[in-house]
Amino acid sequence: MPIHNKIFYNKSSAAKLGWEPSWFGAKDFDETLIKNIKKFQREHELTADGLCGPMTYRRINTKREFEHEIEDRPEGDFIICDGERVPINWDVINILDEDNYALPANCYRSYKPKKRNISMIVTHWDVCLSARSCRKVLKRKGISSHFVIDNNGTICQMVDPQHEAWHAGIRKINKASIGIDFSNGYYTKYNGYYRKRGFGSRPVLRKVPVHRAVLKEFLGYYPVQIQAYEALLKCLHKHYGIPMECPLKDDGSLFTTMYSPARRGKFKGVVNHYHLTKKKIDCAGLEMDKILQRVRDSIENGD
């Protein structure tokens, strides 16, 4: 098979199965990758054709799981950042867990082996009924976010922050940011769904301002989701040094409109999606100023 056909095959295989050239020690879909795949195949008694088909994928996936396995580790005690385990004091389904929420490689831009210069966290709501549904929608649309916080507060990781997730709609923001989604159906008609599934009614937010308008009532955030969000912010701050600051007015209150420094990529800290564009209203009603104050207090107290 000609080299260009093999390259095309491996690109298609990676998009379908969710592997990356870095799994084989390569930087791109090229002849080096084909050579490295052949070496791996010979080591595992497979036909050395340089193509990562289903058999080769299963072998490399098993090898990676083995290399990352930790004896008797508690569930949800770390997220994966830059390919490494980063401890977090919260329940997590990370991208190495058996029933994970990892998105395929065609949903984000890989930076490995380079490291991104991350300076911002962008917060969204997914307008989905669950984290599983959020992941399904993102995969179908070919876009991504790094994390989604489920209805029960579980942090579900979808992409390693070393990669550029496509969540903000602005390339320079995507390049420098981490995306966090809240699972939230938004419309109050869905509160019955949450009650039937044992989550209880969501808070209903009323008269919430955004972009100098007042929104109709909508579903807010479960307290356990806010607690999970704070735990994730604290973890990402410790690992990447992202400032726990948000856009504030002169009187100290939270900006509820687009914030130009954030849109231009000049702001370092935590923002809502509406801070980046007038076309978005998420996450309206999220008291980010109070949340970040609690996170800063926790960090200062050494909690």
Both 116 and 57 in one domain: the answer is: no
Residue 73 covered by a domain: no
Picking from 39, 68, 97, the residue at the C-terminal end of a domain is 68
| Domain presence at residue 56 | yes
The answer to whether residues 52 and 166 belong to one domain is no
Final residue belonging to a domain, choices 11, 46, 68? 68
Task: Establish if 246 belongs to a structural domain.
Answer: yes
Contact by Cβ (8 Å): 220, 203: yes
Q: Which residues face 148 on adjacent strands?
A: 156, 181
Calculate the alpha carbon distances from 301 to 103, 252, 294, 295 in Å: 36, 23, 10, 10
* Domain co-membership, 59 together with 144: no
**Same domain assignment for residues 14 and 144:** no
35 and 87 belong to one structural domain: no
CATH of the domain at 83: 3.40.80.10
Residue 129 maps to a domain: yes
What's the whole-model pTM score? Answer: 0.76
Q: Indicate the residue type of 146.
A: H
User: Please, are residues 187 and 218 in contact by the beta-carbon 8 Å criterion?
Assistant: yes
CATH of the domain at 63: 1.10.101
Instruction: Tell which residue, 31, 26, 27, has the closest CA to residue 3.
Output: 31
57 in the same domain as 123: no
The total number of structural domains that make up the chain:
2
Classify residue 7: in a domain, yes or no: yes
Choose the final residue of a domain: 68, 86, 109.
68
DSSP state letters, 38-84: HHHHHHTT---SS---HHHHHHHHHHHHHHH--TTPPTT-EEEETTE
Q: Do residues 24 and 88 share a domain?
A: no
Residues 113, 201, single domain; the answer is yes
Is residue 239 assigned to a domain? yes
Bridge partners of 205? 218
The pair of three-digit structure tokens given for residue 165, joined into one six-digit string: 């997730």
User: 35 in a domain, yes or no?
Assistant: yes
Q: Report the Cα 128 to chain-centroid distance in Å.
A: 15
Q: Give, in order, the Cα–Cα distances in Å from 158 to each of 59, 106, 107, 216, 235.
A: 22, 13, 10, 31, 16
Is residue 119 in some structural domain? yes
Structural domain containing residue 266: 78-300
Per-residue pLDDT of the chain (303 residues; tens, 9 = 90+): 899 999 999 999 998 888 899 999 998 999 999 999 999 999 998 999 999 999 899 899 888 776 654 334 444 489 999 888 999 999 999 999 988 999 999 999 998 777 889 999 999 999 999 999 999 999 999 999 999 999 999 999 999 999 999 999 999 999 999 999 999 999 999 999 999 999 999 999 999 999 999 999 999 999 999 999 999 999 999 999 999 999 999 999 999 999 999 999 999 999 999 999 999 999 999 999 999 999 999 999 877
Q: Please check whether residues 131 and 35 belong to one and the same domain.
A: no
For residues 56 and 82, membership in a common domain is answered with: no
Give the rounded distance of the alpha carbon of 45 from its chain centre. 36
Pull the structure tokens for residue 114.
């380079």
Asked if 137 and 248 sit in the same domain, the reply is yes
36 with 131, same domain? no
